[in-house]
Amino acid sequence: MAKTLIYAHRGASKLAPENTMTAFELAAAAGADGIETDVQLTKDHIPVLIHDENLRRTTNGTGFVQDNTYAELRLLDAGSWFNPKFSDSSIVSLDEFLDWFKDQPMFLNAELKTNVIEYKNIESIVYNSLKRAGVIDRTVISSFNADSITRMKNINPSIQTAFLTSTKMRNLAGYAKSLEADALHVKHRLLDKRLAKKCSKNKLDLRIYTVNRPSMMKKCFKLGIEGLITDVPHQALEYRALSQ
């Protein structure tokens, strides 16, 4: 059985402010197999890595990402909310991140945040950035928005995509397959042996988020899940070493 890959959720987000270069660097230093991050678009159509559509929670700014230019967003403090020692952290562009990531021996899970705001052309903008960086072959694009999956597959049928959900559905694996997705990413409470078998039968990779409890980590390892997404990659790596 292949080992379960460990993706750092927004970087090592229990140790540093989420989706900042410090969080990504700590994940790499811990030995995480991959990084999960979130992509939104600025007013001037620059893809940036931030989870919320609104700036309030993770910066000292207000309003929406889409209403600010990248230059304006760069001036914000994206770290003090977590701890004052991270006050020099800023919002990262996808291209800035990829310039670092392309030299890391890791996988990337880029989540397109199109379930609240359907950013126009985000799929092609993100795809072009990934192509320029030469990392398409080790990237999976995920989204809660099925249309984003379809649009990405229309750009390049061979790029890896994942349907993302926290909602229980009768035939989740079948639905993901109908979108021509390559993987299913589900919230940890949806994980059971039946879903794992259904994904295997449909030749879908199954990845689980956000796995922070040791008991859930062990369940993922026991069921042979392809990947888990966690805020604490350093801990998940320790448990994996004991479990597999």
Q: List residues with catalytic annotation.
A: 9, 51
Beta pairing partners, 109: 36, 140
Contact 235, 242 (CB under 8 A): no
| DSSP 8-class letter at 58 | T
Contact 158, 129 (CB under 8 A): no
Amino acid at 205: D
CA nearest to 19, candidates 96, 72, 85, 123: 96
Task: Round to whole Å and give the CA distance between 89 and 158.
Answer: 35
Contact 185, 229 (CB under 8 A): yes
Beta pairing partners, 140: 109, 160
Listed as own residue / partner, the contacts of 11-15 with beta carbons closer than 8 Å and 24 or more positions apart are 11/35, 11/37, 12/231, 12/232, 12/233, 12/234, 13/231, 14/212, 14/231, 14/232, 15/234
Task: Round to whole Å and give the CA distance between 233 and 28.
Answer: 9
